[in-house]
Chains A and B, each alone.
Chain A
């Protein structure tokens, strides 16, 4: 089967050899879309059938969706009642205006909502600043240190004039982001230790690390979270209690560390053996060899998988709903518990999904970009 553009190439090639003739008609812009459609949509019978089927599908779904979500949608309501929505046939986006505070911040004290908002903005700004490679410097680390202190102060309060807010009241987007970020940051050192242990020559250490990684990777996050919420209190000495949020965070960290360890191991395996042998020849002890020679090269390779792991971690934090924390998803569900707005659950979920989607999609694009950026050295 020869594609039409091959025909054209063949024709132009022939024309180059011979003298230019009038047989090669330059395509006029007017016919370009048609020619494109012919070669990309209708170039054979099966393709034409597929195109027509897809067009039919789009025709069946897009206009009703547009009319529901755009043309007949209710964008705002008076005095917080859903009456206007009940009368219209379209979507009830007024939900967003009425319930956005609950969806974004959960049960955080209403008059203090500027605090989680500001904290979220700081974290997003810091993440955006950390994205380009040219900002990867020592100063960025200090900036993160300051940001963490400020965010913690904003969320907890209790000093410098801010009223104290206990972690049980935290919720919504800040909780989702906090759990995902802290989960991955705390899991990272643990994962390096596990990955090194799995590649160790010492059989007992290798067995323990391999056992841990395979055990955790073999069970669902839901049961790890249940374990964290039901069993952690039993593990501690009598009288010591541990915060629900911390328990969930511990569960997420222990879970993520096992997956991250496999990513780090992949990076370690990509480093040529000669590097380690050279370090040995220089007489470097194990930890200095790892810290100075192997890990800097391996972790550079592992950055894109870490971002991917962060995306899954971000999505997986939604499971803390099941153990009773008010993350973005649970807060959206809570907003829909109001009988007045319950019929508009689709709108509520669409809004929550859009927030997750924007975060995850931009991070996955970033990870792809980073992979191209870092793809030097070890690849030809």
Chain B
């Protein structure tokens, strides 16, 4: 700059000020600086407030004894365990209800979505009533209703006997469960092998169909093998099959597997709610497939069911999968409403921890991190699936 003449100096400064690149850098520096300043201000205030209230900071509390009980969990837990383990119980409970909810909501949603397009007037109307009725009422309200219904059931003494050892009462749903023996291992291994075999079979069937045009019922064969082979193994190894059947002892049932009222209400609530949205996605996906495809399939002599399964649905999936992903993510996030009806999910456990330790920042940050990680994993999985069903173009 010093080398230039006096008259040229303002021109270069002007040119600099008006150059898009310089402005871009300037704006970014200003915005990043602003965000950092805001962040520093908030952190500073928070630290000052925490110090004033005598609240500890850091994740040290995770190693301390939690001192509270959790109603249900998939791993053993007691009040003498650490906060970290309590949170793990919460994470597993969230995952349990989310995974089951996604499966249930997909099945209901697919059925209702197809039913809305049914040529049967009555079925289509009923499906419409379901969708419009469910999706226009807040999920939390529906959860309260489900919880109210489950807890208004009769006490265990007058439990509703559904048969086959299944009992429904205000303590939840009781189902018989097989008792675990170590001699079950061979059968489990066979089951895993059969599951792998399903994919091998599918590959072979697809390859053969592409080569010869003969389809092979790989799905029914494979699933059949997954049921029959482990059972055969059980019979061959002579493992004892023993069922733990719920029995009324005193005021409650003993034995069997039990679905708590909170879990049952939450699962029913989020599945039924999300299914209404999934049904709309399925419907619009099917409508997006040109009607000529259906007509062509029918004129080839395929039945209505086969037309749907082999021609319409595979094409509809391309439209369905991306919005379906966000519905699955919504279901995962909505499972946090568990806190309102007392199911010990991640948010509810984290809340108890926050109330006891006062470490709100760490608690909320941990919760959000876990949700972000699970959301990310789920969307990665769905994106992978989407790339499988997406239209392959040159």
Contact = CB atoms under 8 A, between A and B. Distances in A.
B24 A201 contact: yes
Contact of B140 (A50, A227, A319, A364): A319
Interface of A is mostly: helix
Contact of A352 (B133, B141, B368): B141
B119 interface: yes
Contacts, number: 148
A230 interface: yes
Contact of B333 (A202, A203, A219, A352): A219
Contact of A349 (B27, B42, B144): B144
Nearest to A320: B140
29 contacts: A41-B120, A50-B118, A50-B122, A54-B120, A54-B126, A57-B126, A202-B27, A208-B32, A218-B368, A218-B372, A220-B333, A220-B334, A222-B336, A222-B339, A223-B336, A223-B364, A223-B367, A230-B354, A234-B45, A234-B50, A238-B48, A238-B52, A315-B136, A322-B340, A329-B138, A346-B145, A349-B145, A356-B137, A361-B132
A316 interface: yes
A302 B204 CA distance: 48
A126 interface: no
A1 B145 CA distance: 44
A235 B45 contact: yes
Ranked nearest first, the 7 interchain pairs of A and B with the lowest CB-CB distance are A360-B136, A220-B333, A220-B336, A204-B28, A318-B138, A230-B360, A40-B121
Contacts of B337: 222, 319, 322
A356 B351 CA distance: 28
> Which of B49, B126, B138, B141: most chain A CB closer than 10 A?
B138
A330 B393 CA distance: 53
B136 A41 contact: no
Nearest to B368: A219
Interface residues of A toward B: which range?
A: 35 or more
B215 interface: no
B333 A221 contact: yes
Interface in A186-228: 201-205, 208, 215, 217-223, 226-227
Given A223-B367, A234-B46, A357 B31 contact: no
A266 to B, nearest CB: 13
A364 B128 CA distance: 14
Nearest to B136: A360
B364 A226 contact: yes
B361 interface: yes
A356 B347 contact: no
Interface centre among B28, B48, B120 (most CB of A within 10 A): B120
Contacts of B291: none
Nearest to B369: A219
Interface string B301-337: 0001000000000000000000000000100011011
A1 B364 CA distance: 59
Contacts of A40: 119-121
A57 B126 CA distance: 10
Interface in B99-140: 118-123, 126, 132-133, 135-140
Contacts of A50: 118, 120, 122-123
A267 B42 CA distance: 34
B59 to A, nearest CB: 16
A356 B145 CA distance: 14
B371 A231 contact: no
B364 A231 contact: yes
B276 to A, nearest CB: 12
Given A50-B120, A219-B371, A236-B45, A360 B137 contact: yes
B235 interface: no
Given A201-B24, A319-B337, A356 B31 contact: no
B376 interface: yes
A51 interface: yes
B35 interface: yes
B24 to A, nearest CB: 5
A275 interface: no
Contacts of A51: 120, 122-123
Nearest to B373: A218
A353 interface: yes
Contacts of A236: 45, 49
A321 interface: yes
Contacts of B139: 315
A29 B327 CA distance: 46
B375 interface: yes
A238 B50 CA distance: 10
A190 to B, nearest CB: 14
Contacts of B334: 220
B138 A226 contact: no
A43 B119 contact: yes
Given A50-B120, A204-B31, A237-B45, A223 B371 contact: yes
A364 B120 contact: no
A10 interface: no
B140 A318 contact: yes
A349 B45 CA distance: 42
B122 A223 contact: no
A202 B26 CA distance: 10
Given A40-B120, A353-B145, 5 more contacts: A231-B364, A234-B46, A234-B49, A235-B42, A364-B136
B120 A47 contact: yes
Interface in A20-64: 40-41, 43, 47, 50-51, 54-55, 57
B298 interface: yes
A138 B27 CA distance: 34
B224 interface: no
Nearest to A230: B360
Contacts of B32: 204, 208
A361 B136 contact: yes
B340 A321 contact: yes
Nearest to B118: A50
B371 A238 contact: no
A44 to B, nearest CB: 8
Contact of A218 (B132, B145, B376): B376
A55 B122 contact: yes
A361 B276 CA distance: 14
B148 interface: yes
Contacts of B137: 315, 353, 356-357, 360
A68 interface: no
A356 B136 contact: yes
A242 to B, nearest CB: 12
Nearest to A204: B28
A50 to B, nearest CB: 5
Nearest to B304: A1
